Amino acid sequence: MNLRSALASIARESRGSRGRLLFFVACLALGVAAIVGVSALVEAVRAGMRAQARELLGADLSVSAYRPLPEDLALQHQLIDTEFERTEIRELATMASSSKNGRSQLVEVKAVGGRFPFYGALGLEPAKSLAELLTPETCVVAPELLAPGALALGDALSIGSASYVIAGIVRDEPGRLGLAFTAGPRVFLSLDGLARAELEHFGSRIRHRALFRYADETKLHGGDLQSWEWLLARVYLKDAEYLRFETYHDGQPTVRRAVNRVERYLGLVALLSLILGGIGVAMIVRAWIAERTQAVAVLRCLGFRPREVLVLYAGNVVLLAALASALGGLAGSFVPLVIERWLDELLPTGVELSWQPLAIVRGVWLGIGIALVFSLPPLAAIWRVAPARVLRQEAEPLAAPRLVTWGAVVLLAAGIFAAAWVQSDDLEHAAAFTGGLGVLALLLGAAAFGLTKLAARLPRERLSPYLVHGVAALARPGAGVLGAALALGFGVLVVLAMALTERELSTKLERALPADAPTTFFVDVQPDQWTDVERTLGAHGATAIEKVPVVTARLKSIDGVDVEDTRGRGQGGRGRWALTREQRITWLDALPSSNTLVAGALWSDPAANELSIEEGFAEDIGAKLGTRLVFDVQGVPIDFTVTSLRTVEWESFQINFFLVAEPGALEQAPHMVLGAARVDETAEDPLQDELAKVAPNVTFLRVRAILAKVRAVLDRLALAVRVLGLFTVIVGLVILAGVASSTALRRGREVALLKTLGVTRLGVTGLFATEFALLGLVAGLVGASGAFALAFGFLDIVLELGPELPWHWLPLAAAATAALAAASGLAASARALNTRPLESLRAS
Amino acid sequence: MTVPRIECRAIVKRLPSGSALLTILDTLDLAIEPGEFVAILGPSGSGKSTLLGLLAGLDRPTSGEIRIDGERIDTLDEDALALLRRRKVGFVFQSFQLLGNLTALENVLLPLELAGVASARDRARELLAAVGLGERGHHFPSQLSGGEQQRVALARAFAPRPAILFADEPTGNLDLATGARVLELLVELRSRENTTLVLVTHDREVARLADRRIHLRAGRIERIACGAAASA
């Protein structure tokens, strides 16, 4: 059979199945729309970031570090053949206060010496350049600082030991994106202005940054920007490990990572909708093949081999799937536009959304693939059709070859795995997703199966006629009841599990603070400032005041091997980060209660400088008991031996460190103090204002405010998940409606018969509603139980939160599912319900 | 001596009925020559249709051998049987068995396309014309009368020039006059294409036209009558 006649016969076959078309298309299109929506959104954000990459960084190259940049950076730039501009920047989080009302606030200071930004523009008021607005005596601030009744243009703002006149407002700053987590509103200063604050003198943690703009990238050494970056980082600048290089090609790494995470997570949630659509497709195909058994037998008589019949029907599925996926893709591609219009707070600012044809292509391929693999198991029934059926209806079905039945199942699993891989771009995630789904499907299937069996055994004598009918319908073998329950249950499970987890996390965050946990932290306190800080704390009723010394250091070598050469020994990106970042070490006599020793003994070796390391961190850097670590503490190498490993309950909110040194080893090193205290929420503002005067360099962190911010981010993600979860429930209901309508013929006869027997139209509606509601109840119960189990497992075992779940949601969810199922089932049976009694005579 | 077109030796067919095995055909021998017209007669339940299914390779015997053109078919797998049917066998059924979603012309085209016949469309039109439905090719089965549907089925069966045609009560669902017309066409086409015809019927009038009449009773050959138009 050649391709043309194959296509022709496929086109012919689709004629007889127009009724089913709607449900097929609806199931698949919804899933594809979810997939395309997510991927179009992500692609659009990425494309926006690419298009504005230079504006996001504001430069061609940025070099930064938490210490002054090396002279070599300037020297190397003297050797290049192209003109360039350099702008110096200092960034730090610090407290700002106003003498006008005595209020203070944590702000993000950016001190700029030179032109900024090189690309893009700041949205400034008045409309001048930043350089024009900034003098050593002025600042430019974000509008959040100018809350009504607080500050206005021309007022003074104090930072450190200096005061600045607010000369302008920055409404828009490229590269400062909504998805990223910020400590506070932006304040721009000039470099000279920052020097006046004398914060460096107090030892504040300052990020030094140099921005470069090159007239001609091709004249850089290496011939392009990326090679130049590589040469600088790896060859020209010695000991450059502490320097961070970013070119505009890298985009904004934090935003990029956030986007990748969102893509992976939401991508898989969207895939769930599509997979449910796949279940719908499988059920529709099964009903379709069952109806076509006679036609299959005739085709077999005419000399079609089973695989040729399969091609015929699978081809049909593909054609339909292509149509449905195209529709879904089209619908999904509007998602970014909808979000831009109504939900723009979900998006990073400055990202413009555009049409994403690639996202549609990907969604359409996934849609066709999922439809195909899900139709294979029901299509395997083709092998079971005996050609002899053309002579005798009751001809024994043939045994399908094992290869066919198992092959179909294997292909299905492989297809889901491949789709998960495409969506998450990560083998492990894909495997976990597929495996988890398989287990869930088995459990849900077993539960639904058990309940239908139970329904069959239920003594029916005492039930009302409505219930008898409903229970009988549940127990009726085949008819896709199990599949519909499974799909709907899955939808309920997804939505409810998400809602439960989100709710629990949200409430936990709201009252997250254990009774004894500190509510405020004081960062970068100079040792000689502590007495003042402590006195101020006492005056504001603070309790549980704690302080620990902090030494910043850099890991130099592990067991004599330079960290430079150890890279890759740790695990993945976190290992590398753990090796090269700036470490904070404290010293303690005894461990706080939130620490548990798991190996070795604390301060047990009188001969060495001892170190206790958090277990996970030790794994990251590849350290064990007895490992020798050398730290560079402000230029002085200090030798340590690891003598104990411990675990830390981070969620206790106590001050904790990955690295704790033996007392005596670091006392001589320059250090700062990290303080913590418990303060009433009402006392936080006055305390902050007072501290800004007493110790202006100290950064005041309010845990409650940070938790609120985390919650806001969580809420955004939860909203997206809820929308996608809704898709899964809708797909489940569509499938149910599909099952109802695929049995419309049988139902029509039933209705006619019932009406002949004298049941009113309302009565018949009641019978059907009971049947669908029972199905929904079963699906809702099974799905909701699964959701509770999943949420409880995740919260209790993975997050160890000791969740208090709202168990009364369980019956509510089941009841709601029952109501929805009854509604959608009745809607799909509307035609059958209108059948006239006369037709029962005709049918016979 | 020529090889028989169809030959079966000692075929037995048993089917499960409840917990017992029911013997449908009991040790049957039969040979049908190329170009021969054989009618299989017998009351309901005598095993006529089962025999037809076995001879055509739609079904497998419990034991015994069946050959078509000297080739064993009872040992072939499903795929090989399908290919055999595609090459050599045509069918006409009591209930027409047209594919409802295809037009008359497309129904006739189907086996031709399957066999890869070059001028399939011309051949299909020619056959539809031969059964008197040249103008009805674009109609769907549901738009045709029973007699018309069976004529389309005849056209479909003869289209790929099968060596053997199996007909299972081809006039059973038709009224007398229509049935006679269909039968007439069947015999006419068979002569023209020189097709071996195996026809199952319980109608002696129909069987009269056959070269040989095989009477089945309770799964055994009761008697064989030779000669066309012999007395009923």
**10-residue stretch averages of pLDDT, chain A, 844 residues long:** 61 63 83 87 76 78 85 82 89 83 82 87 85 91 75 85 90 64 82 86 77 85 82 76 79 68 78 84 82 87 90 87 91 79 58 75 93 92 88 78 89 92 85 86 79 76 72 66 74 80 71 70 84 87 85 84 63 57 83 84 84 86 86 85 86 80 83 86 82 78 74 69 72 73 68 72 81 84 86 74 82 90 83 67 45
For residue A486, tell me if it sits in a domain. Answer: yes
For residue B115, tell me if it sits in a domain. Answer: yes
Phi, psi dihedral angles at B9 (to 5 degrees): -125, 125
CB atoms under 10 Å from CB of B58, counted, come to 26
Q: How far is CA A301 from the centre of its chain?
A: 54
Under DSSP, is residue A773 helix (H, G, I), strand (E, B) or coil? helix
Between A16, A299, A391, which is nearest B58 by CB?
Answer: A391
The CA distance from A294 to the nearest CA of chain B, in Å, is 8
CB atoms under 10 Å from CB of A28, counted, come to 32
For residue A482, tell me if it sits in a domain. Answer: yes
For residue B127, tell me if it sits in a domain. Answer: yes
Residues A742 and A806 in one domain: yes
Please say whether the beta carbons of A248 and A59 come within 8 A.
Answer: yes
Residues A507 and A561 in one domain: no
For residue A531, tell me if it sits in a domain. Answer: no
What ipTM score was computed for the predicted complex, to two decimals?
0.85
CA distance A408 to A357: 32
Q: Which residues contact B31 (CB under 8 A, 6 or more apart)?
A: B4, B6, B7, B8
Please say whether the beta carbons of A180 and A224 come within 8 A.
Answer: no
Q: Tokens 């890869």 correspond to what residue?
A: B116
Which chain A residue lies closest to B158 (C-alpha atoms)? A302
Compute and round to an integer the Cα radius of gyration of chain B.
Answer: 17
For residue A317, tell me if it sits in a domain. Answer: yes
* Neighboring chain B residues of A388 at a CB cutoff of 8 Å: 53, 58-59
Give the residues of chain B that fall short of pLDDT 70: 1, 228-232
Residues A673 and A738 in one domain: no
Most B-contacting residue of A5, A301, A311, A384 (CB-CB within 10 A), to test interface: A301
> Across the strands, what pairs with A631?
A555, A638
For residue A635, tell me if it sits in a domain. Answer: yes
CA distance A607 to A383: 79
Q: How many domains does chain A have?
A: 4
Which chain A residue lies closest to B121 (C-alpha atoms)? A5
Q: A339: domain range?
A: 1-51+258-425
Residues A551 and A416 in one domain: no
Query: A210-249 burial string, b = 16+ CB within 10 Å, else e?
Result: bbbbbeebeebbeeebeebbbebeeebbeebbbbbbbbbe
Residues A489 and A388 in one domain: no
For residue A529, tell me if it sits in a domain. Answer: no
Between B53, B84, B106, which is nearest A388 by CB?
Answer: B53
State how far the alpha carbon of A344 is from the alpha carbons of A41, A376, A721, in Å.
12, 42, 16
**How buried is B147 (Cβ within 10 angstroms: 0-12 exposed, 13-18 middle, 19+ buried)?**
buried
For residue B131, tell me if it sits in a domain. Answer: yes
CA angle A502, A505, A507 (to 5 degrees): 105
For residue B1, tell me if it sits in a domain. Answer: no
**What angle separates helix A253-291 from helix A293-301, to the nearest 10 degrees?**
70
**How buried is B213 (Cβ within 10 angstroms: 0-12 exposed, 13-18 middle, 19+ buried)?**
buried
A388/B116 touch (CB, cutoff 8 Å), yes or no: no
Size of interface A-B (CB pairs under 8 A): 88
Which chain A residue lies closest to B77 (C-alpha atoms)? A305
Would you state the pLDDT for residue B126?
92
Alpha helices in A676-808 (DSSP H): 681-694, 703-742, 744-756, 761-793
Residues A298 and A354 in one domain: yes
Q: B63: domain range?
A: 6-226
Please say whether the beta carbons of B65 and B72 come within 8 A.
Answer: yes
| Interface contact B107, partner A, CB < 8 A | no
For residue A723, tell me if it sits in a domain. Answer: yes
CA distance A606 to A589: 14
Q: Dihedral of CA A14/A16/A21/A23: which sign?
A: negative
B97/A395 touch (CB, cutoff 8 Å), yes or no: no
Phi, psi dihedral angles at B119 (to 5 degrees): -100, 55
CA distance A278 to B121: 38
* Neighboring chain A residues of B106 at a CB cutoff of 8 Å: 12
Residues A344 and A411 in one domain: yes
For residue B232, tell me if it sits in a domain. Answer: no
List the one residue out of A365, A320, A360, A361 whose CA is nearest residue A336.
A360
Residues A779 and A816 in one domain: yes
Residues A278 and A401 in one domain: yes
The CA distance from A297 to the nearest CA of chain B, in Å, is 9
CA dihedral A682, A685, A689, A690 (to 10 degrees): 20
State how far the alpha carbon of A372 is from the alpha carbons of A195, A313, A317, A319, A675, in Å.
67, 10, 7, 10, 61
Between A13, A307, A391, which is nearest B101 by CB?
Answer: A13
Q: Tokens 């936080």 correspond to what residue?
A: A684
| Interface contact B49, partner A, CB < 8 A | yes
CA distance A30 to A274: 7
Tokens of A649: 């309950």
CA distance A290 to A283: 11
For residue A156, tell me if it sits in a domain. Answer: yes
Q: Which of residues 138-197 of B touch A (CB under 8 A)?
A: 168
* Neighboring chain B residues of A303 at a CB cutoff of 8 Å: 82-87, 89, 111, 114-115
- Which segments of A268-354 are extended strands (E)? none
Region class of B43: left (phi > 0), else alpha (psi between -120 and 50), else beta:
beta
Please say whether the beta carbons of B72 and B53 come within 8 A.
Answer: no
Alpha helices in B77-195 (DSSP H): 78-88, 104-115, 120-130, 146-158, 176-193
CA distance A821 to A732: 9
Q: Which residues contact A290 (CB under 8 A, 6 or more apart)?
A: A381
| Interface contact B59, partner A, CB < 8 A | yes
Domain of residue B189, CATH code: 3.40.50.300
Residues A591 and A633 in one domain: yes
Between A5, A390, A396, which is nearest B97 by CB?
Answer: A390
List the one residue out of A698, A709, A705 whose CA is nearest residue A684.
A705
Between A1, A16, A395, which is nearest B114 by CB?
Answer: A1
Please say whether the beta carbons of A181 and A56 come within 8 A.
Answer: no
For residue B112, tell me if it sits in a domain. Answer: yes
Q: Which residues contact A208 (CB under 8 A, 6 or more apart)?
A: A64, A65, A66, A67, A68, A69, A88, A89, A90
Residues A411 and A505 in one domain: no
Residues A650 and A739 in one domain: no
Under DSSP, is residue B134 helix (H, G, I), strand (E, B) or coil? coil
Q: How many domains does chain B have?
A: 1
Amino acid at site B74: D
* Neighboring chain A residues of B111 at a CB cutoff of 8 Å: 302-303
For residue B48, tell me if it sits in a domain. Answer: yes
